[in-house]
Amino acid sequence: MRFMVIVKASEDSEAGVMPSEQLLTEMGQFNEALVKAGVLLAGDGLHPSSKGVRVKFSGTKRSVVDGPFAETKELVAGFWIWQVKSKEEAIEWVKRCPNPMPDDSEIEIRQIFEPEDFGEQFTPELKEQAERTYAQIAGKK
How do residues 10-24 score in pLDDT, each as one tens digit? 999 999 999 999 999
CATH code: domain of residue 43? 3.30.70.1060
More confident residue, 74 or 33: 33
Q: How many domains does the chain divide into? A: 1
- In the predicted model, what is the mean pLDDT of residues 30-41? 97
Residue 71 is part of which domain span?
2-140
pTM: 0.89
Q: What is the Cα–Cα distance from 10 to 7, expressed in whole angstroms? A: 9
How do residues 42-101 score in pLDDT, each as one tens digit? 999 999 999 999 999 999 999 999 999 887 678 999 999 999 999 999 999 999 999 999
The CA-atom distances, in angstroms, between 77 and each of 62, 81, 107 are: 25, 14, 10
